[in-house]
Amino acid sequence: MKVLILNCDFDKNLETNLAQLIYSHLIRFSINDVIIRNVFENQFPDEEELKASAGIIITGSWASVYENLEWINKLSALIRLIDKLEIPTLGSCFGYQIIAQALGGNVQASGKFEEGFKSVKLTKEGMNDSLFDSFPQQFKVYQSHGDIVNVLPKNSTVFAKSANSYEAYKIKNFFAVQFHPEILPKTAIKMAIRDGKDINKILDSVDNSYKLPLNVYLNFISTIS
């Protein structure tokens, strides 16, 4: 089974690059055919490669989806092609936002930066969907974003919310989460040290062994297997 990762993260450190983190988790799930395309460097898959993929994952990024950049515009067009091809796709953070924008929603700056492990709550629809199989109704996830989806695409189903915004939705063959399931406490600590942030504030009482959000990827893979 081939999984295609569309990498939007500029981070050159393999220990904290989002595509590399996702790749390492997928390998642990025994998914051995994983391809990374650095779309921010205009490394875009063609239609043949898309059709050969059982599923696609779109990562987070330091960019904002409303920036008028060539690679962002091309990625939006690619998402609309993926929609036509009906390929199961999971987007996180920037991926969550660009899926919404490409399919008719709207993304805006929230006016503040949300970072660290924060609580989200599943809706009834989220509780009943396989993407969140084995999850409690409320749980903590790693957040790192300054933009939010303020208008979801038409016919979206909201799966989760937080005090600040929507946190997960589904539309057609797309699943999208605002948070970063791939960032576990160990990696969050490395990022906090890198950025000179308060580690205790970032972790916010999350135990270092906390791994629940990874099940988003495991459950996604289960749906496309």
Q: Which residues are catalytic?
A: 93, 180, 182
- CA-angle at 80, arms to 85 and 42, nearest 5°: 105
Give the strand order in the sheet containing 55-58: 33-38, 2-7, 55-58, 89-92, 174-177, 166-171, 157-161, 106-122, 138-151
Q: Which residues pair with 138 in a beta bridge?
A: 121
Residue that is written with structure tokens 């660290």 in the block:
116
In this structure, what DSSP letter does residue 152 have?
P
Cα Rg of the chain (Å, integer): 16
Give me 114's structure tokens.
Answer: 């949300």
Phi and psi torsions of 201, nearest 5°: -70, -40
Whole-angstrom Cα distance, residue 119 to residue 100? 22
